[in-house]
Amino acid sequence: SMPDWFSVDHDARTVSMTMTAGSTPDNNYWNYNGFIRGQIAINVPEGYTVTIELVNEDPNMAHSVGISSEVSNFAMPPATVPVFEGAITENPASMIDATMPGESETITFVADAAGTYSMVCYIPGHSAVGMWLFFKVTGNGDAGVQGL
């Protein structure tokens, strides 16, 4: 499925998406585009340049986004070391210096290794209560969002 917040250009080998933190009040606003706990998988082709705009609509809390190798244990925030160079927002674990309410931040990186990863908020406690989604880099060129 290709929701309006996700686009792919196979000729340019790019994927762009807007992930809105707190787009709904679900899960205390700790969600991406209303999704939590791996409810969806975002698929991008291996070798493509990925741009993620994080928009924070949570009225109260900072959020972040990054691509992590963690895919199952979110009791503790994953290490703030992204799988791909540049695949993490600034100050991702800071409640005062991450992407604050009403702000946005854009990251760009090359998804250069096929595999299953996660898109996660690194603010302490956020991933533990479900602020994470699956992020798959496909070796066959598939792109889109599964689970919608």
* Range 1-11 average pLDDT: 95
Distances (CA, A) of 145 to 2, 60, 128, 142: 6, 28, 23, 10
The reported pLDDT for the residue numbered 139 is 97
As a whole number, the mean pLDDT across the chain is 96
**CA 128 to CA 99: how far, in whole Å?**
19
The three-class DSSP label of residue 28 is helix
Percent share of the chain, pLDDT over 90:
95
The reported pLDDT for the residue numbered 77 is 83
Q: Is the pLDDT of residue 148 over 90?
A: no
Query: pLDDT-based confidence at 75, cuts 50/70/90?
Result: confident
Q: Is the pLDDT of residue 136 over 90?
A: yes
Specify the range with the lowest mean pLDDT, choosing from 6-10, 11-15, 73-77, 111-115: 73-77
Q: What is the dihedral of CA 36, 102, 17, 80, to 10 degrees?
A: -60
Nearest to 63 by CA among 38, 41, 90: 90
Q: Is the pLDDT of residue 134 over 80?
A: yes
At 89-132, the pLDDT tens digits run: 999 999 999 999 999 999 999 999 999 999 999 999 999 999 99
Q: Is the pLDDT of residue 144 over 90?
A: yes
Q: Rg of the Cα trace of the chain?
A: 14
Q: Is the pLDDT of residue 83 over 80?
A: yes
Query: pLDDT-based confidence at 18, cuts 50/70/90?
Result: very high
